[in-house]
Amino acid sequence: MGMNMGCALSFPLSSVHRHKLYTFFVIAIIMEENAEKFRKKQPISSLSEGDVIDDVFVVKIKKGVSEYAKGYRFNLLLSDNSGKTIEYVYWGGHDEGKVRALYDSIKSDSVVRVRAKVSSYGGKLQLATNEPGVIEVLDEWQYHSEDFVKPAKKDVNEMYAQLLQTVETVENPHIKTLLERIFTDPPIREKMKIHPGAISIHHNWIGGLLEHTLEVLDFCELAARKFPQLDRDLLVAGALLHDIGKLEELEVTSRIKGTNAGQLVGHVMLGALYVAGKIDEMEEFDEELKNKILHILVSHHGKRDYGSPKEPMFPEALAVYYADEMSSKLAEMIEFVEDSKGDTEDDFMYYRRHQKNIFLK
């Protein structure tokens, strides 16, 4: 609810005025709650040259105001919850102040309503307008956030309950206490239920990080059953904590984006620092066990070239690395196949990220 009724008034009000003021607030709140919300009408991937659209997008990148022959212009990169993007160009007139005022009113992550015709430039589709009023910034209550960030695919409360049930099965008292302190902490619990697993590559939806974490856990549980020599408690700790740094690496607004800490430090080190701090709060935590848990976190990308300061140096660390790979790589390819089937009737689709064709049938 956007209305703040906690304002302090510096002058006395009669009962009549208080009633009128109360009525005003109630009407304003009802109007806000019942106001029409703009819905995404079609994904960017379905746009074609010549389409006339009136739709909503999230601003991913602002590219600045520049001069051209007939005045001043600016460019925006717009996106939706598919992760696809399209260029938007505003061709303004000679009044630089008006163009800059419009540009300044639009922020990165703003949700905008655009009325435009889809054209093609340089082999790519774009939206271009040159009239005032064809792009407007929407308030938070005017749009649905799921139009820009994919909704959860599974019940996040059920998934979190599964995570906590697994913690209860841990036998090592140090590991169990560590996991309980972390995952019963309300801020961690709420973040885990919301956070995506990545910006675009895999599990990039609400609750995606939690879903990915449980998938890694399942693969580690399988490894523990197949190889009884493995320390199952250590595997559980590694699976549940390996991506904990993503809670600080990513943030969800009207889109998924990296934080400053995420850009500068990265989730591997953020996670290791966080877990090390939680361990240091505990009394008599075994030093070797601490180092093994931290090693799993810093080695879970497998290779230095993939972002790991260390490569796996014992079996449980190797198991977590491959479990992470299984979850992320399978989710990525499944998502690519499902999305591509809607874009083509061909048997194959070229996957630019991996520079190879993927079979869709």
- Total domains present in the chain: 2
307 pLDDT band, cuts 50/70/90, is: confident
Q: Which of these ranges, 13-22, 218-227, 268-277, has the smallest mean pLDDT?
A: 13-22
The confidence score (pLDDT) of residue 2 equals 43
When pLDDT is averaged across residues 27-34 and rounded to a whole number, the result is: 46
Selected residue with higher pLDDT from 145 and 207: 207
When pLDDT is averaged across residues 265-278 and rounded to a whole number, the result is: 97
Over residues 63-107, the pLDDT tens digits come to 999 999 999 999 999 988 877 899 999 999 999 999 999 999 999
Final residue before a domain boundary, out of 100, 115, 142: 142
Kindly state whether residue 348 falls inside one of the protein's structural domains.
no
Kindly state whether residue 147 falls inside one of the protein's structural domains.
no
- Are residues 175 and 129 part of one domain? no
User: Of 22-26, 143-147, 311-315, where does the model show the most confidence?
Assistant: 311-315
The confidence score (pLDDT) of residue 30 equals 43
Over residues 341-361, the pLDDT tens digits come to 776 778 787 777 777 888 888
**pLDDT(263) > 80:** yes
191 pLDDT band, cuts 50/70/90, is: very high
Entry pTM:
0.75
Final residue before a domain boundary, out of 142, 165, 187: 142
16 pLDDT band, cuts 50/70/90, is: low
When pLDDT is averaged across residues 224-245 and rounded to a whole number, the result is: 98
The confidence score (pLDDT) of residue 19 equals 56
- Are residues 194 and 135 part of one domain? no
Over residues 115-140, the pLDDT tens digits come to 999 999 988 999 998 877 789 999 88
**pLDDT(257) > 90:** no
3-class secondary structure per residue, the chain? CCCCCCCCCCCCCCHHHHHHHHHHHHHHHHHHHHCCCECCCCCHHHCCCCCEEEEEEEEEEEEEEEEECCEEEEEEEEECCCCCEEEEEEECCCCHHHHHHHHHHCCCCCEEEEEEEEEEECCEEEEEECCCCCEEECCHHHECHHHCCECCCCCHHHHHHHHHHHHHCCCCHHHHHHHHHHHCCHHHHHHHHHCCCCCCCCCCECCHHHHHHHHHHHHHHHHHHHCCCCCHHHHHHHHHHCCCCHHHHEEECCCEEECHHHHHCCHHHHHHHHHHHHHHCCCCCCHHHHHHHHHHHHHCCCCHHHCCCCCCCCHHHHHHHHHHHHHHHHHHHHHHHHHHHCCCCCCEEEECCCCEEEECC
Final residue before a domain boundary, out of 142, 177, 210: 142
The confidence score (pLDDT) of residue 56 equals 93
User: Tokens at residue 144, please?
Assistant: 């649905």
Tell me the CATH number at 63: 2.40.50.140
pLDDT > 70: what percent of the chain?
A: 89
The whole domain housing 191 covers 156-341
The confidence score (pLDDT) of residue 33 equals 46
- Are residues 312 and 168 part of one domain? yes
Tell me the CATH number at 209: 1.10.3210.10
Kindly state whether residue 173 falls inside one of the protein's structural domains.
yes
The confidence score (pLDDT) of residue 339 equals 75
